Structure 1
Amino acid sequence: MGHDVGGLLLTPGASAGRDHHTLVAVEQAVAPLPVERLDFPNRIAGRRAPDKAPVAVAHLVERAGVFAAGLGIPADALLLGGRSFGGRVCSLAVAQGLPARGLVLLSYPLHPPGKPDALRTEHFPALDLPVLFVSGRRDPFGSPDEFAAHVGAIPGPVTQVWLPGGHAPTGDAAVAAAVVDWLGSL
């Protein structure tokens, strides 16, 4: 476990909540590292439709500050991450200046399914920190070849773990193990 990692903030995908089984599995696997699993404002308000990215980013920035303060650690000792939309929000927040120790991007949505040209990579050059991608090899949001063409834009050290399956890779244990292994490398 990275000696300067003080906590992990985890965020769900667009249609999920903080109790998503993959997030829970990761929290259990990284124990005793403090973890906070967040809901986005739409979920807190009982709305199904996901928030627009700026709303979700602002919520994340606020909650990361509260979490770090509660742990008595600097903001840049927090790892930020999540599944799909949640991971994208974390990466956008960091690109916009939120300090973090690293990003844990589970099933990152490189592009919407069937729209490989609608890339969500414009902020990658601003990610100067360690980044972990864990995705299914058959994820319709981004294939291994598509990721290979774009992660080079990230100046920080990038780790990619490809698992069997699609947008929800097969086996939460494998996803959690990838996060634990990466933590040990920080």
Structure 2
Amino acid sequence: MDTEARPTTLSLDDAETVSGLVQSPAAPRACYVLAHGAGAGMSHAFMAAVADGLAERGIATLRYQFPYMERGSKRTDSPAVAHAAVRAAVAHAADLFPALPLFAGGKSFGARMSSQAQALVPLPRVEGLVFLGFPLHPAGAPSSDRARHLFEVRTPMLFVQGTRDKLAEFDRIEKLAAELGPLATLLRIDEADHSFHVLVRSGRNDAEVMQQMLDGAAAWMLR
């Protein structure tokens, strides 16, 4: 099975372009539009591992750069610019995989921008959102303010969250998922931090965590 990532180009609303990577098994059953976190782009080892692992589980991915990352800037895009990139990526995935169910989301910042875009105007053909470490609040400043828009989302949502995530206290995520009701599913990753790393003393390792994440996310998308 050839699942090598292939480069592609996404056109944004203002004629700007950003780069992307498409990865697919021979007979994909779904496609996940995967946005990167604030500090690292689409080629980061975590992003590549997610794409590789999902391909092994029958799911294609489209990774893409937000404009600020494409330019090499460390300052994230405004929400409006980021939302436009999310929409362009979803449209591109729909063109690439016209017969597949689409899912959107990503890591941290990418998860939040995808959910905000979906809350404002539903993303065409997207059947659910998958969040890999939703950033509920800044580190050391627990709050649920960043979750308000999620109550405007009308598609199923999967929260993949570590219990040691300093950007989302786990009891707050549990409470949020309960408040969101049947549309929210919470996949608990014991002992994992925001980057899904675990301490040696936990008795687990990062590879085991990745397998749990991928198995859970793939099963949820293909359910």
Q: Same fold (TM over 0.5)?
A: yes
Match of 1:10 among 18, 31, 34: 34
Q: Deviation string for 1:21-65 (max 9, x for gaps)?
A: 222222222224221111110011111221122211111101211
Residues matched between the structures, number: 180
One-letter amino acid of the structure 2 residue matched with residue 105 of structure 1:
F
Match of 1:140 among 124, 145, 166: 166
Q: Which residue of 2 aligns with 1:70?
A: 96
| 3-state DSSP of counterpart to 1:23 | helix
Q: In structure 2, how many angstroms separate the alpha carbons of the residues matched to 1:80 and 1:159?
A: 15
1:13/1:70 CA distance change after superposition, 3 Å: same
Q: In structure 2, how many angstroms separate the alpha carbons of the residues matched to 1:73 and 1:182?
A: 19
Q: Deviation at 1:155?
A: 5.2
Structure 1 segments unaligned to the other structure (5+ residues): none
Identity of paired residues, percent?
30
Contact 1:126-1:155 within 8 A present in 2 as well: no
Q: Which shifted more, 126-135 or 113-122?
A: 113-122
Contact 1:140-1:167 within 8 A present in 2 as well: yes
Which structure carries more strand by proportion?
A: 2
Larger radius of gyration: 2
Q: Which residue of 2 aligns with 1:42?
A: 68
Contact 1:124-1:153 within 8 A present in 2 as well: no
RMSD: 2.0
Q: Which residue of 2 aligns with 1:125?
A: 151
Q: 1 or 2 for the larger relative contact order (CA 8 Å, sep ≥6)?
A: 1
Q: In structure 2, how many angstroms separate the alpha carbons of the residues matched to 1:169 and 1:79?
A: 21
One-letter amino acid of the structure 2 residue matched with residue 19 of structure 1:
S
1:68/1:155 CA distance change after superposition, 3 Å: farther
One-letter amino acid of the structure 2 residue matched with residue 175 of structure 1:
M
Q: In structure 1, how many angstroms separate the alpha carbons of the residues matched to 2:72 and 2:90?
A: 22
Q: In structure 1, how many angstroms separate the alpha carbons of the residues matched to 2:31 and 2:91?
A: 12
Q: Which shifted more, 17-26 or 84-93?
A: 17-26
